[in-house]
């Protein structure tokens, strides 16, 4: 109940500060649209491949958005008040995560609507990709909480933009990782961004062969680790901020 209560408060704070919502939804939508206008002769830019890429790219903005929300909270005395309340770190993390989900759903649905308008074939797997994408987004929210827990409000947006860049370069959304070299391709396999993209792409296109066991393992390890680290760092920072 406390998690839901905290999520409700966070959600209200989010929707009343709409600039970042517009940014995290409108920019990826624009990119999805503009790249389809160029008719680039590459598999990466075909809608069935580029739409999952844009979804993961949109999630990197969710990281930025969450990091800002958490770091902003840390700068106010509200966390001092909450720090002596019966709320536990897990309830904080749950509250932050739940509050972002309505925005994520809107974001994902808008991406799919635009993709369908641009020519993506609408199937039952498109619908199935929505809950799967939400599951994938947990990783990005957790990364945002980690960044927001130790960085200041100004620094957190800079640090989160590193995630945005990593998604662009290592997820394979813009170019095949092999184009850069074998070493780079290997690194991409062990970072969570390509697996995140492959999971959504595999479900959306009903091509299970895209989702390898390594993809699932890498994604799960990063997500569980990120959630655990987020809880620990958030609690530690909350205590040290209050010294």
Stretch that binds another protein, among 32-40, 71-79, 153-161, 163-171 (CB under 8 A): 71-79
118 and 36 in contact (C-beta within 8 Å)? yes
User: Which residue, 16 or 154, has its beta carbon nearer to another protein?
Assistant: 16
* Candidate list 19, 22, 34, 84; residue touching another protein; CB under 8 A: 84
State which residue, 78 or 162, has the beta carbon closest to another protein: 78
Scanning 5-13, 19-27, 128-136, 207-215 for contacts with another protein by CB under 8 A, the matching segment is: 5-13
Nearer to another protein, 39 or 81 (CB): 81
Closest to another protein by CB, 12 or 121: 12
Assess 154 for contact with another protein (CB under 8 A): no
| Residue 12 makes contact with another protein by CB under 8 A | yes
Stretch that binds another protein, among 32-40, 185-193, 214-222, 235-243 (CB under 8 A): 235-243
Nearest Cα to 111, choosing from 120, 124, 99? 120
Binding-site size for another protein (CB under 8 A) equals 24
Q: Which of 76, 124, 154, 208 binds another protein (CB under 8 A)?
A: 76
Please report how close the Cβ of residue 79 comes to another protein at its closest, in angstroms.
Answer: 8
1 lies in the site for another protein, by CB under 8 A: yes
Of 34, 37, 85, 213, which lies in the binding site for another protein, with binding defined by CB under 8 A?
85
Considering beta carbons, is residue 10 or 198 the nearer one to another protein?
10
The dihedral through the CA atoms of 17, 232, 230, 101 has a sign that is: negative
CB 61 within 8 A of CB 110: no
123 near another protein, rule: CB under 8 A:
no
Positions touching another protein (CB under 8 A) are 1-2, 5-6, 8-9, 12-13, 16-17, 76-78, 80-87, 239, 242-243
């Amino acid at each position: 109940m406390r998690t839901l209560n905290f999520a409700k408060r966070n959600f209200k704070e989010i929707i009343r500060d709409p600039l970042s919502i517009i940014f995290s939804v409108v920019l990826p939508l624009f990119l999805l649209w503009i790249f389809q206008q160029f008719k680039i002769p590459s598999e990466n830019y075909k809608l069935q491949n580029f739409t999952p890429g844009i979804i993961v790219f949109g999630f990197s903005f969710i990281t930025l958005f969450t990091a800002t929300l958490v770091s902003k909270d840390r700068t106010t005395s509200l966390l001092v008040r909450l720090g002596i309340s019966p709320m536990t770190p897990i309830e904080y993390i749950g509250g932050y995560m739940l509050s972002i989900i309505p925005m994520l759903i809107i974001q994902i649905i808008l991406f799919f609507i635009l993709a369908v308008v641009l020519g993506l074939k609408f199937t039952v797997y498109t619908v199935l990709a929505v809950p799967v994408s939400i599951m994938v987004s947990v990783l990005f929210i957790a990364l945002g909480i980690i960044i927001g827990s130790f960085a200041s409000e100004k620094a957190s947006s800079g640090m989160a933009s590193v995630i945005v860049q990593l998604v662009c370069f290592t997820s394979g959304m813009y170019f095949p990782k092999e184009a850069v070299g074998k070493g780079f391709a290997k690194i991409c396999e062990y970072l969570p961004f390509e697996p995140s993209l492959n999971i959504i792409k595999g479900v959306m296109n009903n091509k299970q062969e895209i989702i390898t066991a390594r993809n699932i393992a890498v994604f799960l390890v990063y997500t569980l680790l990120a959630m655990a680290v987020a809880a620990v760092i958030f609690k530690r920072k909350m205590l040290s901020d209050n010294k």
